[in-house]
Chains A and B, each alone.
Chain A
């Protein structure tokens, strides 16, 4: 029924199956939307946040999706600025994943603020000294860049492409994509860093506070570096999950391997820097405020030293060593383990830099504050995931997201012949169900 919209030379599942899937995920989405409306109409009393936990699950989700969405800017940088041509097979998907991550982050922020209708104050009455201001500006601008990067893909839809204006617009945007990618990388460097700065500048919170260079605490650079390192791992992870679900090979191994290798070296250099930073903080910065390292990791039910071991050793050094070795990259299980650990690692880092910062007591007579999210917070955090799955499903079905898909998954009749067949005659019912 919708075959006229489906890219040429590729198989897609029957429409009913696609709609059934969208419907199922849509129910989760609606659950999230309901919770979102509750928060907007009834206020943030719908959450389990409190005066000790002004920042909680949502801020973590924001930082985490932006970190893993870093794959878009870094892959774009490698593809368009450093000329890594192999990555052209995965760049579309990296951009789509980035687009989902950033739109999700903006949505979560819109729910998270106490007076959503005043959200524009952050731009209008900007305090240029606040890290959050920089985050808001760069995040919004970069979301614009991602939209610009995603748009040509939408314009490549078979029917849209028939309109001469859209055809040329898509072509022209491709032509100067390097300019947009460079702007995106510039913006990303700052907002990823500023998100690190959000915690690093808190000189009233010795657990978060870091020294640094000029106005930027070390966390500024660590966050940018870790997003560039672990973002591509998330891109690979989502690509591999998509391949599993569609039961197709969608991206050539050379693209994945190159990205994995670069990611591996980035993770290694990042985690060495993180180790040095942690060491300096534990032995110099925190003691200068009267704290020992173990005070941050004891006398509470959750935050033990295990979290530091998990973040740095297990989710840092292990994926780095797997991905920098050729043997590791050639081993499918090894790659799976590495990319999952890297993604967990960066999410854990964001958790620690938001939630544990709130939990640690600073005044001597204060106490640890632990928190668990309300269902409204959980639902609104799952909401972007459902939205992402739906957008990926629609994009995959109707847009040429993977340029090599047709070549790697030839269908009968051969693509050349299929192109000659009228869309209405396409043998839809005989196709292998392949959509997700």
Chain B
């Protein structure tokens, strides 16, 4: 794959550091005006742009081990740039691949709610607004003015806090059109993580931490060259921009499906 993007914004999540506290989920919801219901326990109906999964290695005590895995939108590039599973299927061009940033956008006022993109996404990163958003009295005053709230009947998903990129770009433009610095564009979840498990930046830029951490092989679909790094469902060819780090082998194996003769590792069991 040719590396023809100006930027390739991506995320590295260190699963050895993640404590599963859920700060990233909360920060994301507050930042992006994500609507919620009175009862959020049914995760098949609630909207969580960032969702933390809990994995375990399926072994009995004392060998039992768990891992929390935060899952934002993977901002897939696909086998050729822009051929994300969801972007290629949207009939109304309501989701688009940013050729400048590598970020997959969602145009809420264009989406007519066919949900084909949700069917195409193996990560379940896309959510449908089954209800109109209802904010508790007074809470509408706390909504972020930079992110448009969504209406019933459309799909939404993590945007890597794209409005922050726009604000940072505006500022840089006013400062004479200079390049963005690494710390000028950071997602809400990255900043909220108390364990510093999430790192965000430009995978194309060798000076950015994300690049140094995973050493993406941009000639080969962005595969990580760091042996401790992996991406979810690498084998499907989705080419995600979210990388995970772990020193534990069973977690790295949990990132993808393997035939029995490929990996003798027992598959982990999911809880919540």
Contacts and interface: CB of A to CB of B under 8 A. Distances in A.
A–B touch (CB < 8 A): the answer is: yes
Interface of A: 43-45, 49-55, 112-116, 118-119, 121-122, 124-127, 129-133, 136, 198, 201-206, 287-292, 357-358, 362-367, 369
Nearest to B96: A127
B236 interface: yes
A124 B168 CA distance: 33
B85 A202 contact: yes
14 contacts: A44-B130, A51-B124, A51-B126, A54-B118, A114-B113, A114-B154, A118-B92, A122-B91, A125-B92, A130-B116, A132-B116, A204-B233, A205-B120, A364-B268
A54 B151 CA distance: 17
Given A44-B113, A204-B238, A357 B119 contact: yes
8 A-B pairs with least C-beta separation: A114-B113, A114-B153, A290-B257, A54-B115, A54-B118, A50-B44, A365-B270, A204-B122
Given A201-B88, A364-B254, A365-B270, A114 B128 contact: yes
Kindly state the interface size class of chain B when it binds its partner: 35 or more
B48 to A, nearest CB: 9
A45 B130 contact: yes
Nearest to A371: B44
Contacts of A113: 112-114, 153
B152 interface: yes
Nearest to B260: A292
A292 B268 CA distance: 17
Nearest to B151: A115
Interface string B244-272: 00000000011111111010000111100
Contacts of A45: 130-131
Nearest to B113: A114
Interface string B219-256: 00000000000001101111000000000000001111
B122 A205 contact: yes
B236 A132 contact: no
Contacts of B188: none
Given A114-B128, A290-B256, A131 B89 contact: yes
Nearest to B254: A364
Contacts of B45: 50-51
Contacts of A119: 112
Contacts of A364: 253-257, 267-268
Given A205-B119, A362-B233, A365-B53, A126 B112 contact: no
A365 B154 contact: no
A105 B236 CA distance: 32
Contacts of B236: 203-204, 206, 289, 362
